[in-house]
Structure 1
Amino acid sequence: MIDLRLLREDPDRVRASQRARGEDVALVDSLLSADERRRSSGVRFDELRAEQKGLGKLIGRATGDEKAELLKRAEQLKTDVKAADTERDAADAETQELLQRLGNLVHPDVPVGGEEDFVTLETHGTHRDFAAEGFEPRDHLELGQLLGAIDVERGAKVSGSRFYFLTGVGALLELALVNAAIAQATAAGFTPMLTPALVRPQSMAGTGFLGQAAQDVYHLDKDDLYLVGTSEVPLAAYHMDEILDAERLPLRYAGFSPCFRREAGSHGKDTRGIFRVHQFDKVEMFSYVLPEDSQAEHQRLLEWEKQWLTSLELPFRVIDVASADLGSSAARKYDCEAWIPTQGKYRELTSTSDCTEFQSRRLSIRVREGKKVRPLATLNGTLCAVPRTIVAILENHQQADGSVRVPEVLRPYLGGREVLEPVAK
């Protein structure tokens, strides 16, 4: 959530952010009104309580008619204090409810607009000219079937659409990717983490995934637990309700977890293969830093993502995501999109978001600097979303006979194998 003091001091900035996100600007005025009622009712309650305490002392010294009048006033005060307390609690609850609905403040340099209004910041690598090489590229599913690596038919039989099996070299390729990604993250100073896949509501809400993203979240009603769509959730909640010493920052974690997404708004999109699925594994970077260091940390996370995709020898571009396409927690987000030859376009493989103090305020995570305690900043960055990365590797490194060249960075994790060979015609 944002700082209420900032809202009071500069409501126009918050309105502009809401407008850039394409969200309800009137929410700002509703929140200001609720906050004013919360503060005024709090003052009223404090004044009545002070009078009530003072009256108690007077009653002890009074006699006769004076005491009778004071007792009458005390009875009225009891009623007024209870009413003021109820009003204060109601105003506070309304303020918190509205505050939870307000997205993070969009960074002023973020391009304004929707999904297609991103700005391309840089491009890396070159697209292969398959025509010049004398063959038509196969898509990742055909390649995966030739390699005995992907089985979507049995995935659908067992679990339904958008589920799959990785088999043989497909399973080995996932393990190689995960090990290589964790090795890079560890070398960069991240602490490896295996995180829970089920979290409590306060963890999911605290990271901002029960607002605009709620439709994509799986919920277990009987247990009131949520399946995570990213290990960002447990990594953010890891230090929930804690005060961290400034000397410990930055704290950097690399979480590996299964991820579950309903993909409720993507009917008809990417139905072939394993690009958009309900369950997948992912390595996620997560950082806790001082607020003034968040933009520099954001650039570092982006550099680590670029390093990873470069090591996989994939052509990709970096985009600055437009304001209306940001998640509610993100003030700014960069995506790295790999070139997918059979689609003839770039597709998102990794992303990194600067969430500033938004999540730490919701999760009550603070930093202590001497005698001062304040919220800190959190950031996240996908290092390797496995299925999409497999898609990009298979399509970009395929050869005419259906085999696939293994990028050098993965070979040590595949027993030195340089090529994945077809096993089925």
Structure 2
Amino acid sequence: VKRNIADRNMRADADLVAELYDKRTALVTELQGLQQKRNETAKAAKAKLADAERAALIEAGKKLKDEIASREDALKQAEAALEEAARQIPNTAHPEAPVGAADSDSLEVKRVGEPRAFAFAPKDHVALGEALGIIDFDRAAKVSGNKFYYLKNEAVFLEMALVQYGLNVLRKRGFTPFVTPDVAREEILQGIGFNPRGSESNVYALEGERACLVATAEITLGGYHAGEILAKDSLPRYYCGLSHCFRRDAGAAGQFSRGLYRVHQFSKLEMFVYCLPEQSDAIHEKIRLIEEEIFAGLGIPFRVVDTCTGDLGAPAYRKWDLEAWMPGRNGGEWGEVTSASNCTDYQARRLNVRYKDGDGRNKFVHTLNGTAVAVSRALVALLENCQNEDGSVSVPPALIPYCGFDKIEARR
């Protein structure tokens, strides 16, 4: 466990968890002893006794009651501390996940399509969006603050087209579609693996409520069956959810976070699967192949990356990233557009989602999640890869039936 924490570059304290567990166990044992002694004293006080003996037993019973209350309070505090410390322990990483803490430690395992050779100097999506009159960052900053944006004109139809395109791919693959709430209770966020409060939190907490704006539909789809026992023959369950996503930390300033790449709000179509433990590895591959299908269908070059341990995030056992070629970034670089994670039973244990096995015992399901389309980043890749020398942008043929036009041209 300590090695796994170190490999993931996290600050969980396994020794503290063990220490708190022992403390809690000792308090439980001590409390049970006091409760037994109280019961024996109460029973003895009911017998035929002299007044002095009965008074002594009653006094002893009062002292035991105070001691029990004190131990119960100490146990409550110890359990809360144990829960807090134990929740920091990340999921075990897949034995084949690359060990490392930097992006360069992740392993490229596949490449689909070749970066386009431009006969002109390609623009980035910010310049294209502003010139075409389809994105407005300046007025969004005035109204909402930095890292917000307006989509206008054809970009509005492109967003809807990307969602419709993704939904139709997933419908053919047997996914049940949802439009999910944009708010979730804190205990659901904690169960999924998000920290709902504190300086390290990446989500917006709602003042006066024990709830937050969701950072992904993974949260609301993962909480959908919290506290339930699912029928074994109903698994796997394939869900996809459309939601807005809200994230406080939009990244450091610089080329990587420019424009739409890192923003405080965006729309996303997310896949989420509940399955049996023996099914999760194969389903993880299936989710990644669906992501590949979506971006290959758009004609956008991408590579698949086996994410290193330091970039997995606490719930993930293994994670695949799809990184699209973004020619407007520093003369051309790869940028993450989707991820697919197998979280094994990490989330199910915290949310208490189980199934009844053939032997009649309740066991935890496995959960997986994957991005179908994160609209803002998909737009970055689409605009930059499909631009033309005259400043126009050609629409991928897969999207034309959903948006109704094949090209975005500068407004006159």
Task: Give the TM-score category using the shorter length.
Answer: over 0.9
Distance 1:16 1:321, change over 3 A: same
Match of residue 259 from structure 1: 245
The offset of 1:397, in angstroms, is 1.7
- CA distances 1:200-256 after superposition (whole Å, capped 9, x unpaired): 211222212117994321122133431111111111111122222222211121110
Q: CA–CA distance in 1 between the matches of 2:213 and 2:349?
A: 23
- CA distances 1:73-115 after superposition (whole Å, capped 9, x unpaired): 4344323322332232222111111112222222222111113
Distance 1:420 1:264, change over 3 A: closer
Distance 1:348 1:58, change over 3 A: same
Match of residue 97 from structure 2: 110
- CA distances 1:117-168 after superposition (whole Å, capped 9, x unpaired): 10111111111111xxx32222222322343322222222322222211111
Match of residue 126 from structure 1: 114
Match of residue 293 from structure 1: 279
- Contact between 2:154 and 2:408, CA under 8 Å: does it hold in 1? no
The offset of 1:279, in angstroms, is 1.1
- CA distances 1:266-288 after superposition (whole Å, capped 9, x unpaired): 23454543222111101000111
- Contact between 2:250 and 2:263, CA under 8 Å: does it hold in 1? no
- Contact between 1:217 and 1:260, CA under 8 Å: does it hold in 2? yes
Q: Which moved more, 1:146-155 or 1:404-413?
A: 146-155
1:132-281 maps to which residues of 2 (within 5 A)?
A: 134-210=119-195, 214-263=200-249, 265-270=251-256, 272-281=258-267
2:87 to 94, 100, 114: 100
Q: Which amino acid aligns with 2:261?
A: F
Match of residue 8 from structure 1: none
Q: Which amino acid aligns with 1:118?
A: S
Pair 1:368 & 2:356 matched: yes
The secondary structure found in structure 1 opposite 2:274 is: strand
Match of residue 6 from structure 1: none
Pair 1:34 & 2:23 matched: no
Q: Which amino acid aligns with 1:345?
A: E
Distance 1:79 1:331, change over 3 A: same
Q: What's the RMSD between the two structures over aligned residues?
A: 2.1
Pair 1:354 & 2:342 matched: yes
Match of residue 407 from structure 2: 420
Distance 1:414 1:29, change over 3 A: same
- Contact between 2:195 and 2:202, CA under 8 Å: does it hold in 1? no
TM-score norm. by structure 2 comes to 0.92
Match of residue 411 from structure 1: 400
Pair 1:48 & 2:34 matched: yes
- Contact between 1:169 and 1:420, CA under 8 Å: does it hold in 2? no
1:379-418 maps to which residues of 2 (within 5 A)?
A: 379-415=368-404, 417=405
Structure 1 runs not aligned, ≥5 long: 1-13
User: % of aligned pairs identical?
Assistant: 38
Q: CA–CA distance in 1 between the matches of 2:293 and 2:186?
A: 35
Q: CA–CA distance in 2 between the matches of 1:92 and 1:255?
A: 35
Q: Which moved more, 1:52-61 or 1:108-117?
A: 52-61
Q: CA–CA distance in 2 between the matches of 1:222 and 1:54?
A: 47
Q: Which moved more, 1:212-221 or 1:94-103?
A: 212-221
Match of residue 302 from structure 1: 288
Pair 1:61 & 2:47 matched: yes
Q: Which amino acid aligns with 1:363?
A: L
Q: CA–CA distance in 1 between the matches of 2:237 and 2:71?
A: 43
Q: Which moved more, 1:387-396 or 1:142-151?
A: 142-151
Q: Which amino acid aligns with 2:394?
A: R
The secondary structure found in structure 1 opposite 2:87 is: helix
The offset of 1:34, in angstroms, is 0.5
